[in-house]
């Protein structure tokens, strides 16, 4: 079945939905999402959105904080572009009705909090569930817009490229999409295709990410001929709740920003032994410090203690964290919270320009799947949603400025030479093996030998998965596993190319940092011309 749109957006987080709303008054838009519209990493974001919103703060200060966290690798032009457009992005959300937490005595009328790595209070938030508030507001408006069609429980199998379907040089012409519930593949023809698929946290055994974070956009872009960059920089959030019944529950950066202290089981603080900024050091430093202390003392976790704050204040500022912990028998007004680091954010991704364009004409990437140059070697807290919004706007401007083109004829998905899978358990086993190998060998602290072991295992898995993909009908699990193994291989390849320790990439074999910071860029063997 062929479906035609002006714009096809793969992914339904803050990046994809904000872009859709900016385009839909003039263009026909389709949003494809693997689960429900609100299921994305954006909805899980707790802390808030960083932007210069107070006269005591400045654009230069925000840029400098971003540079410092990014360990010298942030692109100056991209960073300034995002920070200078930050206030307008927040005002756009306020106009849309996002219920940010108010504070009468502040200049803007909203409460601003502070997080690790920030020199000022500049994080606007909706209590401790900012992402959910943003997502709910945008989703309601996306569902109501007559020019936006939503395809829930659909997953992109791969991009449709002109070179492969009889239209040389045409770039990206849309995507093949599996209707998961209907179990058949649709052909989407689009003048513009946007990868807003999020990161790749599920490539690791332990992650704060939702199950949909399987590196789909990164893998599809790589197969299409796009460059990727800096994928070795996987941010491990320092404080994921450690509890057998708590799956991927994040304890917000704002808990430390508001005075939370990290302690060993005996109550001893340890962050001052690792960094003068203590609990307010950037995430990579805090995560490595926790990892060090856990290994040194043989611990399963450490503890984040904010019980010294008034109970009523905690319930007001962290209602969701308080409620979730209480469900598990942890009263944060009296008890320290058990925490461990977990894979949290993919700082690298598909190389894009300031208009969010990739190397393939007609193909854009925004949000966590993209590498814009903003995050460098380590993302500054709460810059992620900001990046989604700013590049969503810039992509919209570029798309709206383009002349309309005809939809060329596209072939339907061909299943004539495949059969139903005989043993789905193969997918489950390969998924588990991949995620365990990445956790064991490509974690917070790395060595060349560990990376080489991971690469060997990943490539064995890749051959097996490719053979499975070639012979059997596609399924949601197979598509995700195929994308995860490609992304895992790219992460390891980037890590092996970096012969230093910088930001989130810490190597025992190369403990020093080079004087000059360089991005790690991988190019496909047959990269297509840049737009």
- Tell me the per-residue pLDDT of 339-370, one tens digit each, with 9 for 90 and over: 999 999 999 999 999 999 999 999 999 999 99
Write down the pLDDT at residue 414: 86
For residues 440 and 490, the answer to whether their CB atoms sit within 8 Å is no
- Residue 273 inside a domain? The answer is yes
- Total tally of structural domains belonging to the chain: 3
- Residue 142 inside a domain? The answer is yes
b/e burial code for range 159-192 (CB count within 10 A of at least 16 → b): bbbbeebeeeebbbbbbbbbebeeeebbbbbbbb
Tell how far CA 87 is from the center of its chain: 22
Same domain, 209 and 125: yes
Q: Residue 258: which CATH number?
A: 3.90.700.10
Write down the pLDDT at residue 500: 98
Q: Is the dihedral of CA 499, 503, 508, 512 positive or negative?
A: positive
Same domain, 144 and 76: yes
Same domain, 16 and 145: yes
Give the pLDDT mean for 481-490: 97
Domain boundary among 344, 373, 390: 344
Q: Residue 15: which CATH number?
A: 3.50.50.60
More confident position, 243 or 351: 351
Same domain, 227 and 242: no
Write down the pLDDT at residue 529: 44
Give the pLDDT mean for 413-439: 83
Give the pLDDT mean for 66-70: 95
- Rounded to whole angstroms, how far apart are CA atoms 424 and 302? 38
Write down the pLDDT at residue 129: 82
CA dihedral (257, 260, 261, 266) in degrees, to 10, reads -160
Write down the pLDDT at residue 421: 67
Q: Residue 440: which CATH number?
A: 1.20.58.100
Write down the pLDDT at residue 141: 97
pLDDT band at residue 173 using 50, 70 and 90 as cut-offs: very high
- Residue 418 inside a domain? The answer is no
Location of structure tokens 């430093």: 285
Same domain, 252 and 305: yes
In order of 80, 123, 305, the CA distances from 272 in angstroms are 32, 24, 15
> What is the DSSP pairing of strand 29-33 with strand 148-152?
parallel
- Residue 405 inside a domain? The answer is no
- Residue 531 inside a domain? The answer is no
pLDDT band at residue 269 using 50, 70 and 90 as cut-offs: very high
DSSP states of 110-166: B-EE--TT-SS--EE-STT-HHHHHHHHHHHHHHH-TTEEEEETEEEEEEEEGGGTT
pLDDT band at residue 530 using 50, 70 and 90 as cut-offs: very low
Q: pLDDT at residue 520 above 90?
A: yes
- Residue 521 inside a domain? The answer is no
User: Which residues, including other chains, have CB under 8 Å from residue 492's CB and lie 6 or more apart?
Assistant: 442, 451, 454, 455, 458
Write down the pLDDT at residue 75: 98
Q: pLDDT at residue 67 above 50?
A: yes
Write down the pLDDT at residue 422: 64
Q: pLDDT at residue 525 above 90?
A: no
In order of 63, 237, 443, 483, 507, the CA distances from 232 in angstroms are 23, 15, 10, 17, 11
pTM of the full structure? 0.90
Give the residue numbers marked as catalytic.
283
- Residue 525 inside a domain? The answer is no
Domain boundary among 325, 344, 363: 344
Same domain, 60 and 154: yes
Same domain, 44 and 146: yes
Domain boundary among 313, 344, 375: 344
Write down the pLDDT at residue 516: 96
Same domain, 17 and 48: yes
Same domain, 36 and 145: yes
Tell me which residue range forms the domain holding 253. Answer: 238-344
What are the residue ranges of helices labelled H in 318-383?
319-327
Same domain, 146 and 23: yes
Q: What are the φ/ψ torsions at residue 458 (nearest 5 degrees)?
A: -65, -40
Same domain, 186 and 271: no
Write down the pLDDT at residue 183: 87
Q: pLDDT at residue 467 above 60?
A: yes
Same domain, 318 and 193: no
Q: Count CA within 13 A, CB hemisphere, residue 100.
A: 23
CA dihedral (162, 166, 169, 174) in degrees, to 10, reads -10
- Segment among 40-49, 121-130, 219-228, 239-248 with least mean pLDDT: 40-49
Q: pLDDT at residue 496 above 80?
A: yes
- Percent of the chain surpassing pLDDT 90: 79
- Residue 167 inside a domain? The answer is yes
For the chain, give the mean pLDDT.
93
Write down the pLDDT at residue 531: 39
Write down the pLDDT at residue 423: 66
């Amino acid at each position: 079945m062929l479906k035609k749109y002006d714009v096809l957006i793969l992914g339904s987080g803050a990046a994809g939905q904000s872009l859709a709303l900016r385009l839909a008054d003039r263009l026909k838009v389709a949003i494809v999402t693997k689960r429900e519209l609100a299921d994305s990493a954006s909805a899980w974001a707790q802390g808030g959105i960083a932007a210069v919103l107070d006269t005591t703060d400045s654009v230069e200060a925000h840029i400098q904080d971003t540079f410092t966290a990014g360990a010298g690798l942030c692109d100056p032009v991209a960073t300034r572009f995002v920070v200078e457009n930050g206030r307008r992005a927040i005002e756009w959300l306020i106009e849309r009705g996002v219920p940010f937490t108010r504070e009468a005595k502040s200049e803007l009328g909203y409460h601003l909090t502070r997080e690790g790595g920030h020199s000022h209070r500049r994080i606007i938030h909706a209590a401790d569930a900012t992402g959910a508030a943003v997502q709910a507001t945008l989703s309601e408006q996306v569902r109501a817009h007559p020019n936006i069609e939503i395809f829930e429980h659909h997953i992109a199998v791969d991009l449709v490229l002109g070179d492969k379907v009889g239209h040389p040089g045409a770039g990206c012409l849309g995507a093949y999409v599996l209707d998961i519930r209907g179990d058949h593949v649709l052909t989407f023809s689009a003048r513009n295709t946007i990868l807003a698929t999020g990161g790749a946290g599920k490539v690791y055994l332990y992650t704060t990410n939702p199950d949909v974070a399987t590196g789909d956009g990164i893998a599809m872009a790589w197969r299409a001929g796009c460059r990727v960059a800096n994928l070795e920089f996987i941010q491990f959030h320092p404080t994921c709740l450690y509890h057998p019944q708590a799956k991927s529950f994040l304890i917000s950066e704002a808990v430390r920003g508001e005075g939370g202290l990290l302690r060993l089981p005996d109550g001893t603080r340890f962050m001052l032994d690792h960094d003068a900024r203590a609990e307010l050091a950037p995430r990579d430093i805090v995560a490595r410090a926790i990892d060090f202390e856990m290994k040194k003392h043989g611990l399963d976790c450490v503890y984040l203690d904010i019980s010294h704050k008034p109970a009523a204040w905690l319930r007001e500022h962290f209602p969701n964290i308080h409620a979730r912990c209480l469900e598990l028998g942890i009263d944060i007004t009296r008890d320290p919270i058990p925490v461990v680091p977990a894979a949290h954010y993919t700082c690298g991704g598909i190389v894009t320009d300031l208009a969010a364009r990739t190397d393939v004409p007609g193909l854009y990437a925004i949000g966590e799947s993209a590498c814009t140059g903003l995050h460098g070697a380590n993302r500054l807290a709460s810059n992620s949603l900001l990046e989604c919004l700013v590049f969503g706007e810039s992509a919209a401007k570029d798309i709206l400025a383009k002349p309309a083109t005809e939809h060329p004829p596209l072939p339907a998905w061909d299943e004539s030479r495949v059969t139903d899978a005989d043993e789905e358990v193969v997918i489950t086993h390969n998924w588990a093996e991949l995620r365990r190998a990445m956790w064991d060998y490509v974690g917070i602290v790395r060595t060349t030998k560990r990376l080489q072991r991971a690469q060997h295992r990943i490539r064995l898995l890749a051959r097996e998965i490719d053979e499975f993909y070639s012979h059997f009908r596609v399924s949601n699990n197979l598509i995700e596993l195929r994308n995860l193994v490609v992304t895992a291989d790219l992460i390891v390849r980037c890590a092996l190319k970096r012969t230093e320790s910088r930001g989130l990439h810490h190597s025992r074999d190369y403990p020093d940092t080079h004087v000059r910071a360089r991005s790690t860029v991988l190019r496909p063997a047959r990269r297509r011309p840049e737009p």
